[in-house]
Amino acid sequence: MDLTKEIKTKKTFLCVGLDPDLTKIPQHLLQTKDPIFEFNKAIIDATKDICVAYKPNFAFYEAQGPKGWESLQKTVDYIGDNHFKIADAKRADIGNTAQQYAKSVFEHMNFDAITLSPYMGQDSVQPFLTYPDKYVILLTLTSNAGSTDFQTKKLLTGDYLFEEVLQESSKWQNADRIMYVVGATKAEYLKIVRRWAPNNFLLIPGIGAQGGNAHEVIQHGINQNIGLLINVARSIIYAGEDINFQEKVRAKALEYAHMMAKHLINFQ
């Protein structure tokens, strides 16, 4: 999938986070056979023409045991091939094990990309980069409070640790298929990120329920290929609680899509 082309066509770089929590989804869905899938299906139906990507966070599915994995697989199948599908797994392991995992996520489940933690280094990431047309999205500067514990610590070189992640990973094989997670709560850091990763796509969480200034983030982050995916989960998917929740979900997603469209006026 040519993500830049999709974004230009749809005039949106919205990614919808599919993080279904049984205590938060509209309660009438709990009577269905597979509430998580029914919820996701409703969200997808309400947003598919105004977003370019979906990102299920694996933790929400794993929390339901084997049944959760079935809901996840059904969700991925339902999304189909017209959207960029991100496995938000945030893990890492050494070669042998990483291969197993890459096979599972890319071949069996048919995701287009996976989020990984960089802490274990190149050989924990490389097995995922051997798949043509598949992407790795490295945790770089996350949107949570704990991101200052290590990510913004300074190295002897004077660079932040997250800058080292950008520099080091840019040397890895097939580095053009690496994207980076950069939290929108740190708009001032986006310029620094673009210095080391001028061409890569950035996946930006932290807009919506977690705060973050959307316009500032987009201005600092956008490049000649757009190069941005903005993920919004809670504030869209839990916009409504009753039987008509789909309308509220769509209305909220449209707010984000319209905001993004303004930044795409100069792109043909």
- Give the residue numbers marked as catalytic: 90
Taking the complex as a whole, the smallest distance from the CB of residue 130 to its own copies amounts, in Å, to 15
Q: Which residues of 178-211 are buried (b: 16+ CB within 10 A; e: fewer)?
A: bbbbbbbbbbebbebbbebbeebbbbbbbbbebe
> With respect to its own copies, which residue has the nearer C-beta, 65 or 132?
65
62 binds its own copies (CB under 8 A): yes
Q: Which residues of 124-155 are buried (b: 16+ CB within 10 A; e: fewer)?
A: bbbbbbebeebbbbbbbbbbeeebeeebeeee
70 binds its own copies (CB under 8 A): yes
**59-67, 184-192, 223-231, 256-264 -> range binding its own copies (CB under 8 A):** 59-67
Taking the complex as a whole, the smallest distance from the CB of residue 120 to its own copies amounts, in Å, to 5
Site track 166-205 with its own copies (rule: CB under 8 A), x = hit? --x-------------------------------------
Quote the tokens at residue 71.
């809901």
Site track 122-151 with its own copies (rule: CB under 8 A), x = hit? xxxx-------------x--xxxxxxxxxx
Exactly one of 8, 11, 110, 120 binds its own copies (CB under 8 A); that residue is: 120
CA-wise closest residue to 80 among 47, 54, 108, 115: 54
Count other C-beta atoms under 10 Å from residue 265's C-beta. Answer: 8
Exactly one of 4, 8, 41, 104 binds its own copies (CB under 8 A); that residue is: 104
Interface ranges with its own copies (CB under 8 A): 19, 21, 57, 59-60, 62-67, 69-70, 73, 89-95, 97-98, 100-101, 103-104, 108, 117-125, 139, 142-151, 153-156, 158, 161, 164-165, 168
